[in-house]
Structure 1
Amino acid sequence: MNLRYAFIEEHRGRFSTALMCRVFEVSRSGYYEWRTRPPSQRAQDDQALKASIREHHEKSRSTYGTRRIQKKLAEDGKIVSRRRIGRLMDEEGLECKMRRKFKATTNSKHNKPVAPNLLDRNFTASELNQAYVGDITYVATREGWLYLAVFIDLCSRAVVGWSMDSRMPAALVNDALTMAIFKRRPEAGLDS
């Protein structure tokens, strides 16, 4: 019954109250009584719970779901079912951030040639542009993963070239190295 009254209340500026009461087979007097009736104890409790749920949800930076929020509410002395917490979270539009499943992005079982290890784990350099080292990492964004290729000068430890892409093609590394070479203009014989 409350859902019917709530619908009538929400749409009463668009349709006549008498018409909606007839369509939903409720009395107008019942609808007007519902409007003036104070919120039930359950509705008041739900409002208080929503505030607590929102507080715990915000403190967790949107990572807590119904299980953890139920545990936090229990620590506060409030025993609430996960189903009720879920309903209240839905009503408030609260969602927990899901952990993304790890996805391997490289294939080490390939037949492609591997470059020789010229540095042999000697990560020191006495002069600028003597040796560059590089790496690829990925960064989570709201739009998905971004891959970042970076080259660093071993002497200055400064980033000399970088490139970003939503995919990880060979051009990602080539672009970063091209930036480093264009920016620093090293002499022939650079170890990278």
Structure 2
Amino acid sequence: MEDELKQPSHPSTSGMLRELGLSRSNYYDWQKREVSAQQTKKNFVCALIQKIYDQNNGIYGAPKIAWEIRKQNISITVKTVGNYMREMGLRACYVPPWATTTRDPEFDTKLENILNEQFNPNRPNAAWCIDTTYIPTDDGFMYLTSIMDLYSRSIIAWDLADTLST
């Protein structure tokens, strides 16, 4: 009874072929068959797509990758590159253009350059500077605002908020 419960560690080739309804001669013919010219070209192009995709940090999509491949005198369409990328599981990442969002034209006209690029004051609390840093999170941006004394170069105060108004 123990012999009946034991499963083979791996199924035999003959058994698998029988289950699939294939002959042994077809299987061995398939094993010896060389890769077609079309498949060889596809493998080459896929490797090229992966290389260009990696070199550009995943930003390039099918149009730019097709353009890069065409620069190497290889004829290929954007649709073909897109299909290959889909098969390979590659997708371009959208990078939004940089936009300055913290400019207030009325405030800019009131600013004066009182430090005149003298960033080493002679005494504490003579000059402070402020900076706001954007921190990307899963829920959007967080804003870290810090105030530094230019004499001691130490942070006097800081605030972390989910809106820029603070």
State yes or no: 1:54 paired with 2:50: yes
State yes or no: 1:168 paired with 2:160: no
In the TM superposition, residue 120 of structure 1 has moved relative to its aligned partner by: 5.2
Stretches of structure 2 that go unaligned for 5 or more consecutive residues are: 1-10, 105-109
Percent of aligned pairs with the same amino acid: 21
State yes or no: 1:75 paired with 2:71: yes
In structure 2, what is the equivalent of residue 179 of structure 1?
Answer: none
Q: Distance in 2 between matches of 1:39 and 1:152?
A: 66
Q: 1:78 to 1:139 in 2, by over 3 A?
A: farther
State yes or no: 1:34 paired with 2:30: yes
In the TM superposition, residue 45 of structure 1 has moved relative to its aligned partner by: 0.6
Aligned residue pair count = 143
In the TM superposition, residue 17 of structure 1 has moved relative to its aligned partner by: 3.7
Q: 1:145 to 1:30 in 2, by over 3 A?
A: farther
In structure 2, what is the equivalent of residue 18 of structure 1?
Answer: 18
- What is the TM-score with the length of structure 2 in the denominator? 0.62
Query: Which 4+ stretches in 1 moved above 3 angstroms?
Result: 27-31, 33-36, 100-106, 123-126, 139-146, 161-165
Partner letter of residue 55 of structure 1?
K
**Aligned-pair Cα RMSD in Å:** 3.8
In the TM superposition, residue 30 of structure 1 has moved relative to its aligned partner by: 7.8
- What is the TM-score with the length of structure 1 in the denominator? 0.55
SS at match of 2:96: coil
State yes or no: 1:92 paired with 2:88: yes
Partner letter of residue 61 of structure 1?
N
In structure 2, what is the equivalent of residue 3 of structure 1?
Answer: none
